[in-house]
Copies of this chain bind each other. A is one copy, B any other.
Amino acid sequence: MKKGFASDNNSGVHPAILKAIENANAGHVVGYGDDPYTQKAIGMFKDKFGEETEIFFVFNGTGANVLGLSTITQSFNSIICAETAHIQEDECGAPEKFTGCKLLPVEPVNGKLTPELIQHHLKGFDFEHHSQPKVISISQVTEMGTVYQPTEIIALADLAHKNNMFLHMDGARIANAAVALDMDFREFTKDCGVDVLSFGGTKNGMMMGEAVVFFNPKLTKLTKYIRKQSMQLYSKMRFVGAQFQAYFENDLWKQNAAHANKMARLLESEVAKIPQIKLTQAVEANGVFAIVPPEIIEPLRERFFFYLWNDAKNEVRWMTSFDTTEEDIYGFTDLIKQLLE
């Protein structure tokens, strides 16, 4: 199929990842994670985040978010998040169903939460009638393609901890954030006070597999049972472990994300030249949001598939990926211009 800008998960798998899967395919290994590939990959995570880190591999991003949130909540808790958050908008209620918690959506600014925006939800503590606030959940990169700066994360973590709460980060696109910030993963997660991280790989060239990363090992005494009960324990786990190994070796993750981000900036700059199109969000990672003349949307989508973000406003979302090429960008913007003539 022709490449498009629908989602970074419409891409395939990076060849180096596929190769790693193949290489892991020899002989028998114990299932469910007690194999050398998984153990090696966990070691690489610990190299990045510190020995005092606990890592649990799961199948997908929703599974990662739910496992992380389930570990740090009780059913009578509430979870504060942006109203655009994946856990609020795109998981069909999996967090509520599995954790029993209430989600408290907040209208974000530029896709981001701030202490001011969520302050009004920090109430009712110790009052048994009220769902007890326990987690602030942010997405890094946000669903609007923006990236939290470390100081912004620290402010939220401090607020959370001051209220005996946790800071959860949905890092489905964490590699794109690291590249955007030009930082190691640790610098804007653990070092900023994040407690639990969904570390994504699938949207950046892996086949499947995400990691739930806990920076306080004491939290995870029971996580293995929750993972199994939430149907996220993979029998042939070696094939996730092997992928993460390849993902970290030679900084493949960085190459992929850097490329995707670069393609988004190229798209941004090309689109900025087209007066009929209005960019609606800062392009900080691999997503471009724009308001587009409605008559060109369908013809554009036929050739380069993508999603409408806000029907009412004719706002569209264009995602770039590790396999997006300059030709894809120019072909796309050429078509836009052509359709607008």
- A230 and B226 CA atoms in complex are apart in Å by 13
Task: Given A30-B305, A239-B208, verify A231-B63 contact (CB < 8 Å).
Answer: yes
Partner of A25, one of B18, B76, B77, B89: B18
The answer to the question of A9 belonging to the interface, with a C-beta cut-off of 8 Å to chain B, is yes
Answer whether residue A207 sits at the interface, using C-beta atoms and an 8 A cutoff: yes
Q: Which of A97-105, A160-168, A259-267 contacts B (4 or more CB under 8 A)?
A: A97-105
Interface: A74 (CB within 8 A): yes
Are A12 and B208 in contact, CB atoms less than 8 angstroms apart? no
Q: A225 and B28: CB pair below 8 A? A: no
For A26, give the chain B residue with the smallest CB separation.
B12
Residues of B within 8 A of A101 (CB): 93, 96
Asked if A257 is at the interface (CB within 8 A of a chain B CB), the reply is: no
- 8 Å CB interface, A3-57 against B: 3-4, 6-7, 9-13, 18, 21-22, 24-32, 35-36
Task: Confirm or deny: A218 has a beta carbon within 8 angstroms of a beta carbon on chain B.
Answer: no
Q: In the complex, what distance in Å separates the CA atom of A105 from the CA atom of B239?
A: 34
Known: A25-B18, A236-B12. A92 touches B228 (CB 8 A): yes
Q: A2-B27, A76-B226, A305-B28 are in contact. Are A234 and B93 (CB under 8 A)?
A: no
* Assembled-state Cα–Cα distance A4/B340 (Å): 64
**How many Å from the CB of A56 to the closest CB on chain B?**
11
A100 (CB) vs chain B CBs: closest residue: B97
Contacts of A124 on B, CB cut-off 8 Å?
89
How many copies the complex holds: the figure is: 4
Say whether B9 contacts A235, CB under 8 Å: yes
Assembled-state Cα–Cα distance A229/B101 (Å)? 10
Instruction: Tell me, in angstroms, the Cα distance from A25 to B323 when the chains sit together.
Output: 12
Q: Select A96's contact among B9, B22, B100, B224, beta carbons within 8 Å.
A: B100
CB of A256 within 8 Å of the partner chain: no
A245 within 8 A of B: no
Residues of B within 8 A of A24 (CB): 12
Interface assignment of A75: CB less than 8 Å from any CB of chain B? yes
Please name the residue on chain B nearest to A65 by beta carbon: B231
Contacts of A96 in B (CB 8 A): 75, 96, 100-102
Residue contact B236 to A208, C-beta cutoff 8 Å: yes
Distance between A327 CB and nearest chain B CB, rounded to angstroms: 13
Q: When the two chains form their complex, are residues B7 and A27 in contact, meaning their CB atoms are under 8 A apart?
A: no
Cα–Cα distance between A108 and B75 once the two chains are bound (Å)? 26
Q: Which residues of B contact A100 (CB under 8 A)?
A: 93, 96-97, 229
Whether A185 sits at the interface, judged by CB under 8 Å, is no
Given contacts A2-B27, A18-B25, A305-B30, contact A228 B9 (CB under 8 A): no
**Contact surface of A with B, Cβ cutoff 8 Å:** 1-4, 6-7, 9-13, 18, 21-22, 24-32, 35-36, 59-63, 66, 74-78, 88-94, 96-98, 100-105, 124, 128-132, 202-203, 207-208, 222, 224-236, 238-239, 305, 321, 323
With contacts A10-B30, A93-B229, A132-B225 known, what are 13 further pairs, Cβ within 8 A? A10-B28, A12-B26, A59-B232, A60-B231, A60-B234, A63-B231, A75-B96, A76-B93, A89-B124, A105-B105, A208-B234, A208-B235, A208-B236
